[in-house]
């Protein structure tokens, strides 16, 4: 082969590699500047219909396991027994419907592949289950925010009871080393060694447990302070930031680089901590929101650096997309309503390994939705981030 041709080919390859590198650098810079955001398409037919004439109550937690199966927990007590649960009447007044078991497992195609849950031997099922998390061993953790729920439960994926941490009925004590105060949810550290507890609706702290023994290793309140159960005035945007968490502490999610992101829901804020509880920074989202607040639950994007945060905002019925480093809101999607892509009380949020988003809805929402990741797109001045199929 002509050496001049080989040299020319080599120069072309070098040039192409330089161009690819330049494009990658430009894309990285664009993302850092917030010029591109994740785009999603709502899947109006996910999941598939439930069997056995089952219906859902408020869907109050969601998680994803090692096989990209989606786990959901709901509350039967929120279903209208008179008008929805006709099969349960004595005698049955119609052929539909009956409550689904509390815990449901769906495969990536939306097929129901497992279900279980409720009271059983050896443990106290929460009076109001809240939150579900599947760990790296595919064990299932469940909290509860009922008036007396002071405990956490752990099961195998098929519903075999493994462990109860804490006891119900003890009341608020954010410095209790053994019991909890109406836990919102838990998350698992990337190395699988520790459990981070959003504790919760009664207590005002993040508690960290050993995943094997359940022993409490440390805990902290807002800004890393020692938690205090004294009343905190209702949130007002003009007031200085509260030095303690308001109720509920609704999520405590840990990133791949060991930062803990805490949802101080009624304060409209995300606080970020080192894994040891050292305070890093905070940001307020939809800061004018009153009442139930804007910071309900969050999930991370699935790129290597987890560049984006997805924040469920049940009060404003939206999902906010944030830059994880700056905590700037880049865009939002959703609105109030019952159509695909809209929300009534969007409560919990998770991403699978493909970057797809799944959400649950409380109050009268009572459903889960899937938003398919469609890559990155240009950021616009208007709220965007989700598209609807034609």
Distance CA 38, CA 209 (A): 34
Give tens-digit pLDDT for 116-137. 999 999 999 999 999 999 999 9
Q: What is the per-residue pLDDT for 39?
A: 95
Q: What is the per-residue pLDDT for 388?
A: 60
Q: What is the per-residue pLDDT for 13?
A: 35
| CB-neighbour burial class of residue 383 (10 A; exposed 0-12, middle 13-18, buried 19+) | middle
Distance CA 172, CA 249 (A): 13
- Three-state SS for 29? helix
Q: What is the per-residue pLDDT for 389?
A: 58
- In this structure, what token pair is assigned to residue 300? 């991370």
Q: What is the mean pLDDT of the chain?
A: 90
Q: What angle do CA 383, 386, 387 make, to 5 degrees?
A: 120
- Residue 346, strand partner residues: 361
- In this structure, what token pair is assigned to residue 271? 């606080």
Distance CA 217, CA 389 (A): 48
- In this structure, what token pair is assigned to residue 131? 């939150």
Q: Which residue has the higher pLDDT, 10 or 237?
A: 237
How much of the chain, in percent, has pLDDT values that exceed 90? 84
Q: Which residue has the tokens 């023994």?
A: 213
Backbone angle region of 70, left / alpha / beta, with phi > 0 → left and psi within -120 to 50 → alpha: beta
**Is the N-terminal amide bond of 91 cis, ω within 30° of 0?**
yes
Give tens-digit pLDDT for 148-190. 999 999 999 999 999 999 999 887 799 999 999 999 999 999 9
Give tens-digit pLDDT for 94-107. 989 999 999 999 99
Q: What angle do CA 109, 114, 119 make, to 5 degrees?
A: 145
Give tens-digit pLDDT for 32-91. 445 799 999 999 999 999 999 999 999 999 999 999 999 999 999 999 999 999 988 988
Q: How does strand 386-387 pair with strand 36-43?
A: parallel
Residue 361 scores a pLDDT above 80: yes
Q: Which residue has the higher pLDDT, 40 or 384?
A: 40
Q: What is the per-residue pLDDT for 28?
A: 39
Give tens-digit pLDDT for 199-208. 989 999 999 9
Give tens-digit pLDDT for 277-298. 999 999 999 999 999 999 999 9
Q: Which residue has the higher pLDDT, 338 or 200?
A: 338
Domain ranges of the chain: 1-33, 37-387
- Residue 216, strand partner residues: 209
Q: Which residue has the higher pLDDT, 255 or 13?
A: 255
Distance CA 297, CA 317 (A): 12
Average pLDDT over residues 229-243: 96
* CA proximity to 272, closest of 233, 231, 229, 323: 323
H or E element that contains 284? strand 279-284
Q: How does strand 161-166 pair with strand 329-333?
A: unpaired
CA distances from 42 to 39, 360, 389 (A): 10, 14, 7
Q: What is the per-residue pLDDT for 19?
A: 38
Q: What is the per-residue pLDDT for 31?
A: 40
Look at the domain 37-387 and name its fold. Neuraminidase (2.120.10)
Q: Which residue has the tokens 């830059």?
A: 323
Distance CA 281, CA 320 (A): 18
Q: What is the per-residue pLDDT for 390?
A: 52
Q: How does strand 386-387 pair with strand 368-378?
A: unpaired
- In this structure, what token pair is assigned to residue 222? 């807002």
Q: What's the Rg (C-alpha) of the chain?
A: 23
Residue 381 scores a pLDDT above 50: no
Distance CA 71, CA 85 (A): 23
Q: What is the per-residue pLDDT for 14?
A: 39
Distance CA 85, CA 82 (A): 6
The dihedral over CA atoms of 138, 136, 372, 115, expressed in degrees to the nearest 10, equals: 10
Instruction: Report phi then psi at 239, rounded to 5.
Output: -80, 155
Q: What is the per-residue pLDDT for 171?
A: 76
Q: What is the per-residue pLDDT for 141?
A: 98
């Amino acid at each position: 082969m002509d050496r001049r041709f080989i040299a020319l080919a080599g120069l072309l390859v070098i040039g192409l590699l330089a161009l690819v590198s330049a494009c990658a650098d430009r894309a990285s810079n664009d993302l850092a500047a917030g010029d591109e955001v994740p785009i999603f398409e709502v899947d109006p037919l996910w999941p598939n219909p439930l069997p056995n004439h089952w219906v859902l109550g408020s869907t109050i937690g969601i998680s994803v396991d090692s096989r990209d199966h989606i786990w959901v927990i709901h509350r039967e007590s929120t279903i209208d027994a008179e008008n929805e649960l006709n099969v349960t009447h004595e005698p049955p007044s119609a052929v539909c419907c009956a409550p689904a078991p509390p815990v449901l497992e769906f495969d990536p195609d939306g097929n129901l592949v497992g279900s279980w849950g409720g009271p059983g031997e050896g443990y106290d099922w929460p009076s109001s289950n809240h939150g579900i998390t599947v760990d790296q061993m595919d064990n299932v953790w469940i909290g509860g925010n009922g008036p007396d729920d002071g405990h956490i439960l752990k099961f195998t994926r098929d519903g075999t009871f493994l462990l109860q941490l804490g006891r119900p009925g003890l009341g608020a004590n954010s410095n209790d080393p053994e019991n909890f105060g109406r836990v919102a949810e838990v998350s698992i550290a990337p190395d699988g060694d520790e459990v981070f507890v959003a504790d919760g609706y009664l207590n005002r702290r993040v508690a960290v447990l050993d995943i094997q023994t359940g022993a409490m290793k440390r805990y902290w309140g807002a800004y890393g302070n020692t938690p205090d159960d004294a009343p905190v005035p209702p949130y007002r945007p003009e007031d200085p930031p509260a030095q303690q968490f308001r109720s509920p502490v609704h999520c405590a999610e840990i990133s791949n680089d060991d930062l803990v992101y805490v949802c101080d829901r009624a304060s409209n804020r995300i606080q970020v901590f080192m894994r040891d509880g050292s305070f890093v920074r905070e940001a307020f989202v939809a800061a004018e929101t009153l009442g139930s607040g804007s910071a309900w639950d969050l999930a991370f994007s699935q790129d290597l650096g987890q560049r984006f945060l997805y924040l469920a905002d049940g009060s404003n019925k939206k999902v906010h997309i944030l830059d994880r480093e700056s905590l700037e809101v880049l865009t939002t999607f959703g609105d109030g309503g019952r159509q695909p892509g809209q929300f009534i009380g969007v409560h919990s949020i998770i991403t699978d390994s493909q970057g797809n988003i799944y959400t649950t809805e409380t109050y009268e929402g009572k459903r889960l939705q899937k938003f398919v990741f469609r890559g990155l797109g240009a950021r616009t001045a208007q709220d965007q981030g989700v598209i609807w199929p034609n």
